[in-house]
Amino acid sequence: MAAARARKLRNPLSGFAITILGSLGLTFLVSLLILWLLPLPIELRMIILAFVVFAMGAVAGRSSLLGFMGFVGAFVGGFFGAVLGQYLFAPTGWEFLLALGFGAVCGLGGLVTGKLGLRRVASAVRHLPQSRRCMRCGARVGLSATKCWSCRAYLPQ
């Protein structure tokens, strides 16, 4: 029964990579739709894009485990997605500065939802099998440990 409730912890770097790729792809697609298809003045399109990029960062930040990793991953992906989208669909001469701003806004969205991942990690760790104790000194050791880290005594398997 405890094995059925145990959740699998994912590598934090894979969540970081998924956050980068997710925010890059979502930001590029959104900038494609807003900058190319929306018949509004460029200033209004940029304001709309800022709000939508924040939401895209929030969506991408859900795959990260920590808030800071969600911020950095969404910032990097949002920056490159915004640069690519602006260079292809709405060159203004301010692409780099606007992409930095959009990347920061996307990173804030990732920070907001990335912090929610701490609860997921805490609940997954709570359901993991408990550690065992050394019979000689009482120190907690891992389930697969062969020797105690404290007194170096051999542990029964």
Write the pLDDT tens digit of every residue in 11-63: 778 888 888 898 899 888 888 888 778 888 888 888 888 999 999 888 888 87
The secondary structure of residue 93, as a DSSP letter, is S
Number of domains present in the structure of the chain: 1
Q: Is residue 82 part of a domain?
A: yes
Q: Give the CA angle between residues 46, 110, 68 to the nearest 5°.
A: 130
> What proportion of the chain, given as a percentage, has pLDDT over 70?
84
Using alpha carbons, list the distances in angstroms from residue 73 to 67, 77, 149: 10, 6, 36
The range of the structural domain enclosing residue 22 comes to 2-115
Q: Is residue 152 part of a domain?
A: no
Using alpha carbons, list the distances in angstroms from residue 124 to 7, 44, 103, 105: 5, 44, 31, 30
pLDDT of 6 reads 45
Q: Is residue 75 part of a domain?
A: yes
Q: Is residue 64 part of a domain?
A: yes
Q: Is residue 127 part of a domain?
A: no
Q: How many CA atoms lie within 13 A of 100 on its CB side?
A: 3
pLDDT per residue as tens digits for the range 73-129: 889 998 998 888 888 877 778 888 888 998 999 989 888 886 665 666 667 667 666
Q: Is residue 78 part of a domain?
A: yes
Please give the Cα distance from 8 to 122 (Å, whole number).
12
**Rounded average pLDDT over 135-153:** 84
Tell me the Cα Rg of the chain. 22
Alpha helices in the chain (DSSP H): 2-5, 12-37, 42-61, 67-89, 95-114, 117-127
pLDDT of 80 reads 92
Position 3 pLDDT exceeds 60: no
Please give the Cα distance from 114 to 141 (Å, whole number).
31
